[in-house]
Amino acid sequence: MAGKLDGKRILILATNGFEQSELEVPRDKLKEAGAKVDVVSPEKGEIKGWDKKDWGRAVKVDKALAEAKVDDYDAIVLPGGQMNPDTLRAEPMAVKLVKDFYNSGKPVAAICHGPWLLIEAGIAKGLKMTSYKSIKTDVVNAGAHWEDAAVVTDKGLVTSRNPGDLDAFCAKIIEEVREGKHERRAA
């Protein structure tokens, strides 16, 4: 995988309560593929993960949300966990950033409960998606076509269900970033 994403920059948007593996595995695999990866958050310093049933490890925040610009990156990754996307979807700057990435045509990847941000940004309607099973109804009610698959891709929007799908999720993100921009309707 090394070198596949040389020169590419990926933004991972997260806050406290992100699912530990859903941030760390994509971050590490994207770096292994040659990308520069920034963890972006409303908080500065560090954010703390949720590791299955309890608080996990802290992760360094590379850039404050207020400083993040779509033009500086080639893709955005939205880890899940329940708390993380639920908090971020109530943050107008986070929702705007997700919508701006989508409207730019750049790859947008969300796993587990991460699709809540896609719903809040108004970009789920009419697209094929998957998610953690407990938010399937939310995804369907937002107008998406929900599929029970390890990874679902529609016009550069990459979604996966849970940590068990991380290998497929990361491989698809790498493929989409290498392909570049996608034609989309404005959200």
User: Which candidate in 89, 106, 113, 161 is catalytic?
Assistant: 113
What DSSP string describes 75-138? Answer: EEEE---SHHHHHHTT-HHHHHHHHHHHHHT--EEEETTTHHHHHHTT--TT-EE---GGGHHH
CA-to-CA distance for 29 and 19, rounded, in angstroms?
16
What DSSP string describes 18-68? Answer: EEHHHHHHHHHHHHHTT-EEEEEESSSSEEEEEETTEEEEEEE--EEGGG-
Three-state SS at 181:
coil
CA-to-CA distance for 38 and 102, rounded, in angstroms?
18
Q: Is 182 noted as a catalytic residue in this protein?
A: no
Three-state SS at 115:
helix
CA-to-CA distance for 117 and 22, rounded, in angstroms?
15
Residues taking part in catalysis: 113
